[in-house]
Amino acid sequence: MRRGSFKIRLLIGLAVVVFAFLRRCSQQEENPYTGRTQAISLSPEQEIAIGLQSAPQMAQQHGGLHPNNQYQALVDNVGNKLIDNSIAQQTPYKYEFHLLADPKTINAFALPGGQIFITYALFSKLENEDQLAGVLGHEIGHVLGKHSNERITNSNFWSTLAMGAAAIDFGQVAQQIGQGQLLKNGRGDELESDDLGVRFMMKAGYNPEEMIGVMQILKDAAGPNRVPEFQSTHPDPENRIEKIRESIAKYRKAPQT
* Interval 215-253: pLDDT, tens: 998 888 776 555 544 344 566 777 889 999 999 999 998
Burial class of 224 by CB neighbour count within 10 A (0 to 12, 13 to 18, 19+): exposed
How do strand 96-100 and strand 108-110 relate by DSSP bridges? unpaired
Burial class of 255 by CB neighbour count within 10 A (0 to 12, 13 to 18, 19+): exposed
Residue 173 is predicted with a pLDDT of 39
Q: For all residues of the chain together, what is the average pLDDT?
A: 80
Written as one string, the DSSP assignment of 31-68 is -TTT--EEE--S-HHHHHHHHHHHHHHHHHHTTSB-S-
pTM: 0.77
pLDDT at 184 > cutoff 50: no
Q: Which residues does residue 3 pair with via DSSP β-bridges, in sequence order? A: none
- Per residue in 68-115, pLDDT (tens digit) is 999 999 999 999 999 999 989 989 999 999 999 999 999 999 998 999
